[in-house]
Amino acid sequence: MKRKRMTREGWGFQHFPYYQMRIEREDFRGLACIIRMTSGHTCYWHMPKAGKVAVCGEGMTWLTLVPDGANHILTAKINSRGRVNVWYADVIDRIVFDEDGVAAFVDMYLDVIFSARGDVRVDDREELDDAHTSGELTDAQHALALAESEKILQACCEDIPATERWCLSILREALGRMNAPDTLRKNAP
């Protein structure tokens, strides 16, 4: 299993403003992490229904939600017009915190990717199964990953417009708290 920092070091995003805060509301309890992409060329994914979809580039914002008690994180890749282009949910083993306070996750390979246009796919099942076969993942971890992907599909993909409204409402709250004393900031003014 790979350990990945929320600042996305190694992905080319470590120099962008990063904000990490705790959110406590009726519909979400956990961490909200924001990466503001202040420069860079736009990169696209091609999806069957949505077509050519921007996933990173100048003017985009990534909002990553880390719900308490869940075994996944959900990243909304938001365009400069304030709409979600695509979501990427990583199924995870756990969250850890580095010495500098930045959250990191231990990835369990399986991912759920979906778009505002209704594209939905589960990725990297082969990697999950290979890790299980090799003994890297226990039977319990393998079953947990599969069950968590089903939870993501049910909670987020059955009503994608509602998922977008939910994510954007959390983003608005998080943006309002970016300069709060309890917000962790990296590369941010």
If you average pLDDT over every residue of the chain, what do you get?
95
Reported pTM = 0.96
21 in helix, strand or coil?
A: strand
And the tokens for 57?
């580039």
Instruction: Using pLDDT thresholds of 50, 70 and 90, give the confidence band for residue 1.
Output: confident
- Chain-centroid distance of CA 140 in Å reads 23
Task: Please report where in the chains the tokens 């306070």 appear, as a residue.
Answer: 101
State pLDDT tens for residues 74-112.
Answer: 999 999 999 999 999 999 999 999 999 999 999 999 999
What pLDDT score was predicted for residue 26?
Answer: 97
Total count of residues recorded for the chain: 189
